[in-house]
Amino acid sequence: MATDRRTTLTRAGVRVLAGAAGLAASAAVAVAAFTLPLPSAQAQPVSRTVTPVPAAATVACPGPVLALGSSASTSGLSALGAPTVVSGGDGSSPASIELTAADVTGGGAGPGAFQQPASSAQHEPLLAAAQSYSANSADLRGLAAANCAQPDFEQWLVGGATSLGATTLVILTNPGDVAATVSIDVYFEQGKAAAAGGRGIVVQPHTQHAVPLSGLAPNARATVVHVTSTGGTVSAALQESEITGVTPQGVDFVGPTAPPSKHVVVPGAVVVPAAQGAGTAGTDTGGGVPVLRVLPIGGKNAKLTIGVKPEGASGTGTASTVTVTHGVVSEVPLDKLAKGTYTVTVESSEPVVAAVHSTTTDAAAGSDFAWYAAAQPLTGPIAIPLAPGPAAFLHFVNPTSAAVTLKLEGPGGSTVAVPAGASISRPISQRGVLTATDAQGLYVTVGYSAPGQLAGYVAYPTGASASALTVYSR
């Protein structure tokens, strides 16, 4: 029995020692796991490079000038006449898209839109279109011109008023195949308008909808309109007209201005100050004081440095400083300017949207006004539409420190040299669409100025290149 007990204890001791040895071995393995390098072999994900196929380019025009209350229904809209439209870009003629304007009860032409299919696997197609119309009715008179904009989900429109004698329409055009639900926010001299009717506006595919701004912000002297959409995209514009008593004071289309920025450039603003002529028939008798309309949206008051420089002049021009209230539309007079064309710049402490308003009056031809929107720097291939109009000019601003030579192809195309930091203009001899392979950062606008007529619009950037993407398989 004693022998068996010793044997049992001995075996137990062996098991204990073996267990201890096992624990020690496990600890050694654990220590080694933390001290020895792990294997470097890793599984590489499977990938391939894919180049997206550019989609077709689409632009939509505001369409004809609309008259409020001149149709059989006193509250309806009627088209005064068909505008002259030019379109093109890639060489072939773009396809037109048939649109309907349900709000227009009178006769006349409808809105227009164009589409250009992609012809290259590297770049979106070049497409541009513009329109112009000279109104001469009892209620509306003046030149209205517009660049036909690409549909987007967000646009800022600096212009418009709903005070006595002013009528403004928000024109929403949906050339796509998907319905767009649009929201319209209106800012004016007292802040942001309630604009309850500006929510949930459905713009059906291939249609245009016109919304009177007076229903969103009544008795507003100075407005800025922010248009956003979900679902489909829209092209947005304002049509503004003014009348004093029974005398029309002008009409204009207001296209999208540059997105909010701390640096704003408004090229080609024509100034025709008052008392420039003797007031005889056929003589330009001037206009009013041009103003810079600006809205800070950064949540803080904005300190602005406003520069005004004559086109083609050397030097820095004049500058002034002013502080404007955030969320409130302000107008800064650009007074004491001689007759001419100017580049207006704004350096701001907060992001702003801005445009310049100018007027002209002629004893024989009447009065007109124009909104000059802020432009965006253009890079890569561009297309510039040249709609018909009197005394038409292309305006160029070169913000860079190097001279830029731009070779324009198309009707009346030429080579334009823009010195570093300078602004110049060139007359337009023909109508159509000009193209260039690389705009090299220039700002470009089109402007018209004649007795009793003012208009202008910016050249918009074209689509970006369809760069290659790396796609990883899961």
Q: Which residues of 263-289 are buried (b: 16+ CB within 10 A; e: fewer)?
A: ebbbbbbbbbbeebbeeeeeebbbbbb
Nearest C-alpha neighbor of 248 from the set 457, 62, 453, 389: 453
Is the predicted pLDDT of residue 3 greater than 90, yes or no?
A: no
Please compute the mean of the pLDDT values over residues 191-219 and round it to a whole number. Answer: 96
Q: How far apart are CA 175 and CA 177, in angstroms?
A: 7
Is the predicted pLDDT of residue 396 greater than 50, yes or no?
A: yes
Mean of pLDDT over the chain: 86
Please compute the mean of the pLDDT values over residues 291-316 and round it to a whole number. Answer: 93
Q: How far apart are CA 263 and CA 397, in angstroms?
A: 14
For position 54, what pLDDT does the model report?
65
For position 262, what pLDDT does the model report?
98
Q: How far apart are CA 290 and CA 204, in angstroms?
A: 38
Please compute the mean of the pLDDT values over residues 422-443 and round it to a whole number. Answer: 95
Range with the poorest average pLDDT among 197-206, 226-235, 279-288: 279-288
Q: Which amino acid is at 115?
A: Q
Give pLDDT tens digits for 342-353: 999 999 999 999
Q: How far apart are CA 198 and CA 287, in angstroms?
A: 34
Tokens encoding 4 = 């068996």
Q: Which amino acid is at 176?
A: G
- The reported pTM is 0.85
Length of the chain in residues, anyone? 474
Q: Is the dihedral of CA 393, 266, 63, 247 positive or negative?
A: negative
Nearest C-alpha neighbor of 65 from the set 120, 138, 145: 145
Q: Which amino acid is at 439?
A: A
Is the predicted pLDDT of residue 471 greater than 60, yes or no?
A: no
Please compute the mean of the pLDDT values over residues 130-153 and round it to a whole number. Answer: 96
For position 408, what pLDDT does the model report?
96
Give pLDDT tens digits for 367-390: 999 999 999 999 999 999 999 999
For position 379, what pLDDT does the model report?
94
For position 104, what pLDDT does the model report?
87
DSSP labels, 244-298: ETTEEEEEEEE-PPPPSEEEEEEEEEEE--TT-S---TT-EEE----EEEEEE-S
For position 317, what pLDDT does the model report?
82
Higher pLDDT, 18 or 119: 119
Give pLDDT tens digits for 37-93: 545 555 556 566 545 556 789 999 999 999 986 544 445 888 988 999 999 988 778
For position 105, what pLDDT does the model report?
75
Q: How far apart are CA 186 and CA 446, in angstroms?
A: 27
- Sequence-separated (6 or more) residues with CB below 8 Å from residue 194: none
Is the predicted pLDDT of residue 315 greater than 90, yes or no?
A: no
